[in-house]
C-alpha cells in the first residue's frame, strides 16, 4: 500500500487527511477515524497492536470514504523528526566523490570499509514535500540534486519507503570533507515524497529503477537513470549502523545514497524543476530557489 497526505478539500474534508492507495482504489483513512490524521498516527496504532501499518489500514478501509487520488495534490507524506543520509553507497558515487575532492582517498576508504558513511541531513524545518521548492546555497558554485531511496522508520523499525532528494553543495564538500555539514544541511536542503510505500508496494528493494530529470526553461537540461541493483551496500546494513548507540526519535527517514550525479559542468539554478521517479513509490517533483 501507499500512504499520502492530501490537503483539505482534495480529500473530501476540510482538514488534511491520510489517504491509502491500493490496487482497488484510494481511501481517506481520516474519514474512518479521527485518530488517523497522519501517517505517524497509523504507525503508532500499528505499534500498539503489534501489527503492520497495512493491517491497520486494511481494517479501516471498509469505513473510509473513497477519494480521487492525484500525485499533484500530495503533501509531505510524513514529517520526520530527523532525516539521516548515507554516502558512497554506489560505485558511481565513489567515482564522483573522487572527481570533486582534493582528498579522494577519504571516500575510497569508506567505500571499502564495513562501516558506512552516515550523517544527519535535515530537521523538520529544513525538509520540504512534493511541489515545494528545494534550496541551493547562494555561496556555492556547484549545486546538485541527489535522488535517493528513503527508508522510513518508526521507533527504529522500518515501516515503509519513500523517494528523497539530498540536495548538496558539491563545491563546498569538495573543498574539504570537514565542510560536509555545511554542504548538506541548510534551508530547504531535503525533500521527500510523494508517499510512504510499504514493502508489498515496493517489491524487491534491489531492483528498482530510479530516474532523475532536471528541466530548465521548459527543456530537459539533464536526465539519467540507474537501479538500486547497483547499490554496493544494503538498506539493512545502513539501518543497523544508524541504530548503533544512537537512540532514534519516533519518526526517522534514512536516505540511502545516490548513483545519479550530474557532471561538474552542470549546476542547479533557480527555477529548475527536479523530478525523481522510483519504481513502486512514484514521482517527487520540486522547483528550485536560492537560499
Q: Mean pLDDT over residues 99-108, rounded?
A: 65
- State the average pLDDT over residues 30-54: 96
First and final C-alpha spacing in the chain: 36
pLDDT beyond 80 at 111: no
Arithmetic mean of pLDDT, 151-171: 97
As a whole number of angstroms, the distance between CA 55 and CA 1 comes to 10
Query: With a threshold of 0.85, does the pTM exceed it?
Result: yes
CB 155 within 8 A of CB 218: no
| Residue partners of 51: CB distance under 8 A and separation at least 6 | none
| Alpha carbon distance 176, 76 (integer Å) | 33
Output the CA torsion 173→178→183→189 (10° steps): 140
**Burial tier of 4 (Cβ tally within 10 Å: 0-12, 13-18, 19+):** buried
Candidate from 50-54, 67-71, 278-282, 284-288 with smallest mean pLDDT: 67-71
Cα separation, 123 vs 225, whole angstroms: 28
Whole-number average pLDDT of the chain: 93
CA distance 166 to 156: 21
Amino acid at each position: 500500500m501507499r500512504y499520502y497526505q492530501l490537503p483539505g478539500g482534495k480529500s473530501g474534508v476540510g482538514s488534511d487527511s491520510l489517504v491509502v492507495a491500493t490496487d482497488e482504489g484510494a481511501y481517506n483513512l481520516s474519514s474512518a477515524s479521527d485518530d488517523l490524521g497522519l501517517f505517524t498516527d497509523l504507525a503508532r496504532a500499528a505499534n500498539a497492536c503489534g501489527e503492520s501499518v497495512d493491517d491497520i489500514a486494511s481494517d479501516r478501509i471498509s469505513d473510509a470514504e473513497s477519494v480521487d487520488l492525484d500525485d499533484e495534490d500530495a503533501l509531505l507524506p510524513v514529517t520526520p523528526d530527523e532525516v539521516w543520509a548515507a554516502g558512497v553507497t554506489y560505485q558511481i558515487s565513489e567515482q564522483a566523490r573522487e572527481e570533486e575532492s582534493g582528498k579522494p582517498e577519504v571516500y575510497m576508504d569508506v567505500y571499502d570499509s564495513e562501516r558506512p558513511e552516515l550523517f544527519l541531513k535535515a530537521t523538520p524545518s529544513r525538509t520540504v514535500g512534493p511541489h515545494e521548492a528545494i534550496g541551493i546555497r547562494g555561496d556555492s558554485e556547484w549545486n546538485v540534486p541527489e535522488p535517493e531511496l528513503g527508508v522510513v522508520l518508526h521507533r527504529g523499525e522500518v515501516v515503509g519507503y519513500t523517494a528523497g532528494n539530498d540536495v548538496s553543495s558539491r563545491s563546498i564538500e569538495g573543498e574539504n570533507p570537514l565542510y560536509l555539514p555545511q554542504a548538506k544541511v541548510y534551508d530547504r536542503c531535503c525533500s521527500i515524497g510523494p508517499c510512504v510505500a510499504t514493502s508489498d508496494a515496493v517489491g524487491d528493494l534491489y531492483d528498482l529503477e530510479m530516474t532523475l530529470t532536471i528541466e530548465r526553461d521548459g527543456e530537459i537540461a539533464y536526465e539519467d537513470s540507474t537501479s538500486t541493483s547497483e547499490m554496493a551496500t544494503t538498506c539493512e546494513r545502513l539501518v543497523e549502523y544508524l541504530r548503533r548507540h544512537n537512540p532514534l526519535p519516533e519518526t526517522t527517514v534514512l536516505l540511502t545514497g545516490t548513483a545519479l550525479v550530474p557532471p561538474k559542468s552542470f549546476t542547479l539554478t533557480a527555477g529548475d524543476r527536479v523530478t525523481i521517479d522510483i519504481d513502486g513509490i512514484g514521482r517527487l517533483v520540486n522547483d528550485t530557489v536560492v537560499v
